Amino acid sequence: MHTSSISNDPDTLVDEREAASILCYSVRALQNWRHRGGGPRFVKVSSRSVRYRRADLMRWIEERTVAHTSQTI
């Protein structure tokens, strides 16, 4: 499989740095969301390692997409 097809696969796992880049947030924001809740779903690979599925990041973005300011999330 070519790298480009892997990177476009919605089931591809990305580390928190890449997830933060996709969301235009800081790694610290992702860490806070994991602790407090409210962020995108994540995969806990081990006690010190988390990954994000691209599809979950895109779903999280889509769930927060609104047409006007009076819409609530």
Mean pLDDT by 10 residues, the chain (73 residues): 61 96 96 95 95 97 90 73
Report in angstroms the alpha-carbon separations of 68 from 23, 38, 45, 59, 63.
Answer: 20, 21, 38, 19, 14
**Residue pair 40/19 in contact by the 8 Å Cβ criterion:** yes
Q: Where are the domains of the chain?
A: 13-62
CATH number of 13-62: 1.10.10.10
pLDDT of amino acid 71: 75
pLDDT of amino acid 5: 47
